């Protein structure tokens, strides 16, 4: 590939990257508030993580170590494609190890291993507007945020309880950030939501198509919207066990064996799973790649 | 077992990309970008317009690379555009200075400087010309020589320029001239489109919007969804305009960078202004504006219809600014639709968890702690 010689470092021109960094700084200063930015077109499709990629391209330096995951997996087609693109135009080192990475770009998962101070998790966001499910119009939604008028969102949750005796929101469960802004945490499972609260790392959210950036700085309060008698609940993971590494109590992919019709579980976080399996196998003196089952 | 959780995809992806080269290498003919620039001009026009990048050679290259898919070619052009620094802003282009290739009016039979049909498919019968299958290049060349020779004898003004038809109605007071506005226009390629959109942002968005979308929504408006005035094309003109930038050391001087082709449309729709002082409302006309790179008449007309429609906010799709301006962006629509092909294992798992929980019955506390409904 000769792309690095033909294009600027990190693809975008310096002026564009600076603009995006300004939006990021503003987002960090007002946790959970959506900051509009002049989203650029990338060689990767809108809706395929271009918001996250633009953040990554704007903050990455030659010494950074990058990990990219898609729904938990390091090897998913789009994670591979994004990784390759960023590496081609920056030369930054790649890893699958959450602890080694300085920047982790992710679609719809937060790694199982707790992230530390100095690490940045860049989340790809399809729909940055948490009020979209109650208010179609962007103009009206902006007014509701300004007035901190979240009654419609609360009412929608209450309606679900009257219909199903349960809050039926799945991934992308709306949260209150810093006691001020209702925020879409991106379609992470509910299981991951609590990792946003009082974290040591920095979370940056990029919506390329909708042209918004927002952030959860370290040690910010992030609380899911719920009721005292109907508390926020994560997905059911109890009693499940990863068939590759044996992990329990983590978020799983559900897999059907087409031969036997059997259903089993495997860690959704592939980097964590591999490490865990290597450790277990190391103790037993065998080395088997975690994904050799695939 | 095959294809579990898309692991080990790298080799498969590499092979898929290689197959693309195979896919565009079939047959004996070579595709020269030069051929596309000369003979597939209207396809190039569409790609350049939706890309917001006037670069015929790159558009031709993009089409070669994308096996002729305009959607993909626009994608390539836009991505390339993102890497270019903005070094100059052109002077304002006034299409009155257009070197005309075509100019028609549906409002008046006789317009100052006259109508000029130019090259158009409008007056042909759309009969597939089987003769083109084995057309000889020499025949085409001699036809070309003959047509040019004939035109030289009859053409009244080879470099025709003309004022606008709307200037007449403005002079008469039927169309209210808009106050001159020298404010810096918004730039949707550098800043997020903020709603309600300024007119400059609206027109830029429609200019780059997908041709099919713009035409479809405008057609819905014509058929009566929302604001449904039947516009009259005051003027449709196509031709070449010069692009000038200020001379770097002396702002009063200009450098001409070259010529680009536009199609410009002014559509007239009747309007009325309610007046408190007068007994009756006053009827008048307002203008919808459409502009596109190259030859793109249907799109330019459709754009002028939507420009009018958006002046009359309403709930119908053609009058709904958010609907019109946010859903015609080609890269965004194709990108988000195609992202559905990506894995959604985690999000679907989360949804499934809810479905299973609501099916288990009992009160919500039991549901959260009950088994996972695998049975």
pLDDT, residue A293, reads 37
Query: Same structural domain for residues B212 and B237?
Result: yes
Domain boundary among B53, B81, B109: B81
- Domain count along chain A: 2
Residue B130: both structure tokens together: 């089987």
- Residue A229 domain flag: no
Yes or no, beta carbons of A211 and B351 under 8 Å apart: no
State mean pLDDT over B25-31.
81
Whether the predicted pLDDT of B362 surpasses 70? no
Average pLDDT, chain B: 86
Query: Same structural domain for residues B277 and B303?
Result: yes
Residue B106: both structure tokens together: 């549906």
Q: Is beta strand A202-207 parallel, antiparallel or unpaired with respect to A120-124? A: parallel
- Residue A265 domain flag: yes
Assign residue A212 the CATH number of its domain: 3.40.50.11310
- Residue B127 domain flag: no
State how far the Cα of A212 lies from the Cα of B192, in Å rounded to an integer. Answer: 8
| HSE-up (13 A, CA, CB side) for residue A216 | 31
Q: For B208-222, what is each residue's pLDDT tens digit?
A: 999 999 999 999 999
Domain boundary among A196, A224, A252: A224
- Residue B258 domain flag: yes
Give bridge partners of residue B240 from the DSSP assignment: B99, B261
Query: Same structural domain for residues A118 and A243?
Result: no
Q: What is the pTM of this model?
A: 0.84
The residue of chain A with its CA nearest to that of B346 is A71
Query: Same structural domain for residues B202 and B232?
Result: yes
State how far the Cα of A132 lies from the Cα of A123, in Å rounded to an integer. Answer: 19
- Residue B207 domain flag: yes
Query: Same structural domain for residues A269 and A176?
Result: no
Query: Same structural domain for residues A248 and A218?
Result: no
Whether the predicted pLDDT of A103 surpasses 80? yes
Query: Which site among B1, B7, B79, B367 would you substitute to test the A interface, given the most A Cβ atoms closer than 10 Å to its Cβ?
Result: B7
Domain region containing B361: 343-375
Yes or no, beta carbons of A75 and B7 under 8 Å apart: yes
Q: For A119-161, what is each residue's pLDDT tens digit?
A: 999 999 999 999 998 998 999 999 999 999 999 999 999 999 9
| pLDDT band at residue A262 under the 50/70/90 scheme | confident
Query: Same structural domain for residues B348 and B330?
Result: no
Query: Same structural domain for residues B298 and B354?
Result: no
Is 0.90 exceeded by the ipTM? no
Whether the predicted pLDDT of B361 surpasses 80? no
- Residue B146 domain flag: no
Query: Same structural domain for residues B350 and B329?
Result: no
| pLDDT band at residue B2 under the 50/70/90 scheme | very low
Looking at chain A, the whole-number percentage of residues with pLDDT higher than 90 is: 76
Yes or no, beta carbons of B322 and A137 under 8 Å apart: yes
Query: Same structural domain for residues A176 and A246?
Result: no
* Residue B34 contacts A where some CB pair is shorter than 8 Å: no
Q: For A51-95, what is each residue's pLDDT tens digit?
A: 999 999 999 999 999 999 999 999 888 898 899 999 999 999 999
Query: Same structural domain for residues B352 and B299?
Result: no
Query: Same structural domain for residues A80 and A126?
Result: yes
Query: Which site among A46, A107, A243, A273 would you substitute to test the B interface, given the most B Cβ atoms closer than 10 Å to its Cβ?
Result: A46
Q: For B233-292, what is each residue's pLDDT tens digit?
A: 999 999 999 999 999 888 789 999 999 999 999 999 887 665 556 566 667 788 999 999
Query: Same structural domain for residues B322 and B254?
Result: yes
Domain region containing A271: 236-288
Q: For B150-172, what is each residue's pLDDT tens digit?
A: 876 555 555 677 888 888 888 88
- Residue A198 domain flag: yes
C-beta separation of A273 from A265 below 8 A: no
- Residue A60 domain flag: yes
Query: Same structural domain for residues B101 and B61?
Result: no
Question: How many Å lie between the alpha carbon of B253 and the closest alpha carbon of chain A?
Answer: 27
State mean pLDDT over A187-211.
96
Query: Same structural domain for residues B327 and B306?
Result: yes
| pLDDT band at residue A1 under the 50/70/90 scheme | very low
C-beta separation of A113 from A99 below 8 A: yes
Query: Same structural domain for residues A172 and A261?
Result: no
Which residue in B338, B337, B373, B336 sits closest to B353, CA to CA? B373
Domain boundary among A224, A250, A280: A224
| pLDDT band at residue A289 under the 50/70/90 scheme | very low
| pLDDT band at residue B374 under the 50/70/90 scheme | very low
- Residue B142 domain flag: no
- Residue A294 domain flag: no
* Residue B141 contacts A where some CB pair is shorter than 8 Å: no
Percentage helix, strand, coil for chain A under 3-state DSSP, each rounded to 5: 35, 20, 50
Query: Same structural domain for residues B63 and B173?
Result: no
pLDDT, residue B272, reads 67
Q: For B90-135, what is each residue's pLDDT tens digit?
A: 999 999 999 999 999 998 888 888 889 999 999 999 999 999 999 9
State how far the Cα of B101 lies from the Cα of B159, in Å rounded to an integer. Answer: 9
- Domain count along chain B: 3
State how far the Cα of A58 lies from the Cα of A60, in Å rounded to an integer. Answer: 6
- Residue B106 domain flag: yes
Q: How far is CA A40 from CA A208, A225, A285, B281, B293, in A?
A: 8, 33, 50, 47, 21
* Residue B87 contacts A where some CB pair is shorter than 8 Å: no
Query: Same structural domain for residues A275 and A182?
Result: no
State how far the Cα of A84 lies from the Cα of A68, in Å rounded to an integer. Answer: 10
Query: Same structural domain for residues A104 and A40?
Result: yes
- Residue B138 domain flag: no
Domain boundary among B54, B81, B108: B81
Which residue in B306, B329, B300 sits closest to B95, CA to CA? B300
Lowest-pLDDT range of A79-83, A122-126, B49-53, B319-323: A79-83
Torsion of CA B354, A186, A268, A102, to 10 degrees: -160
DSSP string over B8-29: THHHHHHHHHHHHHHHTS-SS-
- Residue B30 domain flag: yes
| pLDDT band at residue B7 under the 50/70/90 scheme | low
pLDDT, residue B27, reads 79
CA angle B95, B38, B32 (to 5 degrees): 140
The residue of chain A with its CA nearest to that of B352 is A170
Query: Same structural domain for residues B164 and B310?
Result: yes
Whether the predicted pLDDT of B300 surpasses 90? yes
Residue A105, φ and ψ in degrees, nearest 5 = -95, 135
């Amino acid at each position: 590939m000769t792309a690095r010689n033909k294009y600027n470092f990190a693809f975008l021109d310096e002026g564009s990257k600076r603009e995006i960094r300004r939006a990021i700084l503003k987002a960090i200063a007002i946790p959970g508030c959506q900051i509009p930015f002049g989203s650029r077109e990338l060689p990767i499709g809108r809706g395929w993580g271009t918001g996250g990629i633009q953040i990554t391209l704007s903050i990455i330096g030659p010494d950074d170590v990058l990990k990219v995951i898609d729904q938990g997996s390091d090897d998913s087609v789009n994670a591979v494609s994004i990784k390759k693109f960023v590496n081609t135009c920056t030369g930054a080192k790649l890893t699958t190890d959450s602890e080694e990475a300085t920047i982790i770009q992710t679609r719809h998962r937060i790694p199982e291993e707790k992230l530390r101070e100095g690490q940045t998790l860049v989340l790809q966001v399809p729909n940055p507007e948490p009020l979209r499910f109650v208010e179609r119009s962007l103009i009206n939604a902006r007014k509701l945020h300004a007035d901190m008028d979240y009654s419609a969102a609360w009412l929608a949750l209450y309606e679900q309880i009257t219909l199903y005796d349960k809050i039926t929101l799945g991934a992308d469960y709306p949260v209150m950030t810093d006691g001020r802004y209702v925020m879409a945490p991106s379609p992470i499972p509910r299981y991951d939501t609590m990792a946003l609260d009082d974290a040591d790392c920095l979370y940056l959210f990029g919506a390329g198509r909708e042209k918004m950036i927002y952030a959860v700085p370290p040690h910010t309060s992030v609380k899911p919207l719920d009721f005292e008698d109907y508390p926020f609940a994560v997905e059911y993971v109890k009693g499940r066990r990863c068939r590759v590494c044996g992990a329990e109590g983590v978020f799983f992919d559900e897999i059907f064996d087409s031969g036997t019709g059997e259903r089993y579980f495997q860690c959704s976080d592939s980097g964590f799973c591999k490490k865990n399996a290597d450790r277990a196998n190391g103790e037993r003196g065998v080395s088997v790649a975690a994904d050799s089952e695939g | 077992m095959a294809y579990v959780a898309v692991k080990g995809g790298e080799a498969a992806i590499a092979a898929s990309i290689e197959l693309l080269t195979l896919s565009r290498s079939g047959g004996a003919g070579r595709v020269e970008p030069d051929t596309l620039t000369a003979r597939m001009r209207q396809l190039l026009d569409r790609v350049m317009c939706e890309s917001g990048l006037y670069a015929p050679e790159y558009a031709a290259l993009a089409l070669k690379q994308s096996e002729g898919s305009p959607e993909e070619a626009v994608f390539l052009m836009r991505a390339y555009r993102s890497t270019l620094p903005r070094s100059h802003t052109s002077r304002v282009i006034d299409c009155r200075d257009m070197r005309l290739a075509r100019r028609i009016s549906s409002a008046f039979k006789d317009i100052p400087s006259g109508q000029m049909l130019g090259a158009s498919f409008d007056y042909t019968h759309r009969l597939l010309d089987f003769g083109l299958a084995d057309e000889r290049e020499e025949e085409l060349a001699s036809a070309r020589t003959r047509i040019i020779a004939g035109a030289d004898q009859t053409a009244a003004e080879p470099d025709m320029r003309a004022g606008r038809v709307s200037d007449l109605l403005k002079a008469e007071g039927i169309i209210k001239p808009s106050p001159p506005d020298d404010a810096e226009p918004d730039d949707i390629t550098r800043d997020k489109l903020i709603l309600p959109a300024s007119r400059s942002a609206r027109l830029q968005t429609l200019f780059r919007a997908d041709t099919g979308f713009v035409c479809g929504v405008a057609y819905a408006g014509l058929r009566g969804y929302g604001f449904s005035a039947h516009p009259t094309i005051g003027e449709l003109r196509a031709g070449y305009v010069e692009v000038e930038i200020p001379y770097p050391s002396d702002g009063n001087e200009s450098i001409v960078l070259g010529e680009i082709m536009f199609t410009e449309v002014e559509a007239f729709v009747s309007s009325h202004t309610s007046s408190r002082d007068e007994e009756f409302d006053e009827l008048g006309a307002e203008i919808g504006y459409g502009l596109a790179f190259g030859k793109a008449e249907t799109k330019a007309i459709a754009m002028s219809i939507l420009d009018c429609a958006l002046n009359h906010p309403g709930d119908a799709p053609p009058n709904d600014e958010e609907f019109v301006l946010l859903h015609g962006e080609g890269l965004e629509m194709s990108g988000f639709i195609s992202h559905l092909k990506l894995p959604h294992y985690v999000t679907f798992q989360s949804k499934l968890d809810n479905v299973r929980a609501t099916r288990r019955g009992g009160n919500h506390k039991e549901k959260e702690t009950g088994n996972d409904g695998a049975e």
